[in-house]
Structure 1
Amino acid sequence: MTQDDVRPVVVVTNDDDPTADMVVGELHGRSVPVVRLDSGHFPATLSCSAHIGGSTARWRGSFATPSRVAELDGVRALYYRRPSGFAFPHLDEQDARFAAAQARYGLGGVLVSLPDCAYVNHPNRIGDAEYKPAGLAAAAECGFALPPTLITNRPDDARAFVRKHGHVIYKPLAVPLYLVDGRAQTVLVDEVTEDEIDDRIAGTMHLLQARVDKVADVRVTVIGERVFAVRIDSGLLDWRTDYRTHTYTPVEAPPDVERALFAYLRHFGLVFGAFDFTLSADGAWTFIECNPSGQWAWMEPPTGLPMTAALADLLERGTNP
């Protein structure tokens, strides 16, 4: 048994994550040790102790869950998905806010500083890439075609944008937890008309885009050096609203699009990205967004694309390409 055989992959995500479940199962099938943890379990069932300095030039110590221990200097790769947030319901509001900050910058700071660890993706790089304005600017710089886009809190500018482009859609700039009667809701991408824009738009920032005349959508999942492109035929403005309508077809990304994909990932220091495009009747691909923690596993069964294996390859290797 070599040293690499016993170095675990750490999977950081919430308890209900079927995508991570598939990857963990694949790694277990390869006899790769896995430590799964969720920041939301801290401090009840997740602990950490780390030390540096003196004769120690890099972090040493460990994370511990009820069933697993990961030595900080022995993690081969960290798969960062969608952990739940720190929560301290037993504390009053002010103390909980203080404790959450200490946990974020303490436990979170250790997580992003592991020595000799490959990240898929590094949490700090995910944070950078989740800013939609930064993503759109990088996409344009990398050569993608973009729809005309406005980000504003000025009602007059929003109305003028709609008048100019006619069919315009609204989409959220970020999607925090939004509850109605205790149930999580999705803020939908939808078309907006000029008469729907009033002075309430001044209350925060909004993203508006000219609607693209599309015949289908394409989800492109880049995992390390591999590109998996799937055409999604749904007939919907936002294909996420009804998965029952979908037809999935594996396709090849055009060479110029593929070059731009890797340029975009290099720009943000990512090794994984879930890209969304619209596909026009003339074959044009228009960039919509890239999610650095995006979903992909639901497309594997109907297409047969080996995305789980590709992700496990990246984690098992323990070095980023």
Structure 2
Amino acid sequence: MEGRRSVLVLTNPYDVTADVVLRLLAERRVPVVRLDPGADLHAGASLTATYRTGEQWGTLRTTSRELDTTRVRSVWVRRPSPYGGPPALAGQDRKFAAEQALWGAGGILASLPGARYLNHPWNNRAAEYKPSQLSTARRCGFLVPCTVITNDPQEAREFVTFQPGGVVYKPLWNSPYRVDGQPHSVWVREVHGPEITDAVSVCPHMFQAKVDKAFDVRVTAVGDRLFGVRIDSPDLDWRCRQDLMTCTPVDVPELVARAVTAYLAELRLIYGAFDFAVTASGDWYFLECNPNGQWAWQPPETIEAIAQAIADQLEKGPDA
């Protein structure tokens, strides 16, 4: 494989989803370098970039590989660890080192010349803001449930009052939260007017008209290839108890497929995990799009098809 351009995979060592695609790339004899920059750069790996008029070059060295960073065909930004700074440092020194790593190593890895990104980390970050998702979805032609994001308790109460089908609360970000010292997930849940207190003023809250859904759908988009899965669950938020849900492949309507394509193009994404609530009459309501959503929990044939599509994108590189 000497001389062939490598795929660089940025993820943590426990990412079994990445392993599915890495096995396919190995079968295709595509050279791969795996790096968790937030941790590996404190454990023997090094990264160097040099810039001057008309030229740019660099080297990534891990415990097992050496990579010319101008020879990277694709970068798969999967689930790298946060830049936390060297464990041996503490306080402001560790914080300083962590921020320098984010802006230094993170900046180098986000600007490799000639590489194809799946997705580019800056595009991922921009696409994670739920207000941006809703605004983009509306422009691209999706059906969007009536939604208000506010830190005004009275605005929130009035919104709930005028939604006859009910209202749900959704966190705007999956922030770490602990109850009695234990990790606690904040799920989507139904709310009623009397529950909305002046505590809403502490930060923006997202309230959305409840969709009278028959089932949920996850559409995983990889380039122009779409993979739909119907999700039947007893819970409002199917993520709560995934052991109780059932998943079956489902076709994606043409109008929804066109809106997905437009959405990816507007936010400059190659990959996106779209969630929909589908009514008994067949209306698909956009709920959100995770630009880096998990997909290896789906039916085996869907997992295989998604993995092949991702491997295709990474193997083709900038010519895809």
Q: TM-score under structure 1 normalisation?
A: 0.94
The aligned residue for residue 259 of structure 2 is 260
Find the residue that maps to 2:239 and give its secondary structure: helix
- In 2 relative to 1, CA 215–294 (structure 1 residues): closer, same or farther, beyond 3 Å? same
* Alignment deviations for residues 154-180 of structure 1 (CA, whole Å, 9 cap, x no partner): 111111111111411111111133344
Q: Which moved more, 1:39-48 or 1:96-105?
A: 39-48
The aligned residue for residue 7 of structure 1 is 5
1:301 maps onto 2:290 in alignment:
no
The aligned residue for residue 185 of structure 2 is 186
- The 8 Å contact of residues 297 and 303 in structure 2, kept in 1 or not, is answered as no
Q: 1:62 aligns with which of 59, 62, 79?
A: 59
The aligned residue for residue 143 of structure 2 is 145
Deviation at 1:181, TM superposition (A): 5.7
The aligned residue for residue 81 of structure 2 is 84
The aligned residue for residue 71 of structure 2 is 74
Partner Cα separation in structure 1 for residue 312 and residue 2 of structure 2: 18
Deviation at 1:206, TM superposition (A): 0.8
Partner Cα separation in structure 1 for residue 105 and residue 303 of structure 2: 38
Find the residue that maps to 1:165 and give its secondary structure: coil
- The 8 Å contact of residues 119 and 320 in structure 1, kept in 2 or not, is answered as no
The aligned residue for residue 319 of structure 1 is 318
Deviation at 1:319, TM superposition (A): 2.4
Partner Cα separation in structure 1 for residue 276 and residue 172 of structure 2: 17
* Alignment deviations for residues 122-171 of structure 1 (CA, whole Å, 9 cap, x no partner): 00100110111011000000000000001011111111111111411111
Q: TM-score under structure 2 normalisation?
A: 0.94
Counterparts in 2 of 1:24-39, with a 5 A limit? 24-39=22-37
Q: Which moved more, 1:169-178 or 1:201-210?
A: 169-178
Deviation at 1:276, TM superposition (A): 0.3
Deviation at 1:68, TM superposition (A): 2.0
The aligned residue for residue 19 of structure 2 is 21
Structure 1 gaps of 5+ residues are none
- The 8 Å contact of residues 278 and 286 in structure 1, kept in 2 or not, is answered as yes
Find the residue that maps to 2:277 and give its secondary structure: strand
User: Cα RMSD (Å) of the superposition?
Assistant: 1.7
Amino acid at match of 1:98: F
Partner Cα separation in structure 2 for residue 78 and residue 53 of structure 1: 23
Structure 2 gaps of 5+ residues are none
Q: How many residues align?
A: 317
- In 2 relative to 1, CA 7–180 (structure 1 residues): closer, same or farther, beyond 3 Å? farther
Deviation at 1:45, TM superposition (A): 3.1
Deviation at 1:217, TM superposition (A): 0.3
Amino acid at match of 1:314: Q
Find the residue that maps to 2:94 and give its secondary structure: helix
Partner Cα separation in structure 1 for residue 150 and residue 254 of structure 2: 34
The aligned residue for residue 50 of structure 1 is 49
- The 8 Å contact of residues 271 and 320 in structure 1, kept in 2 or not, is answered as no
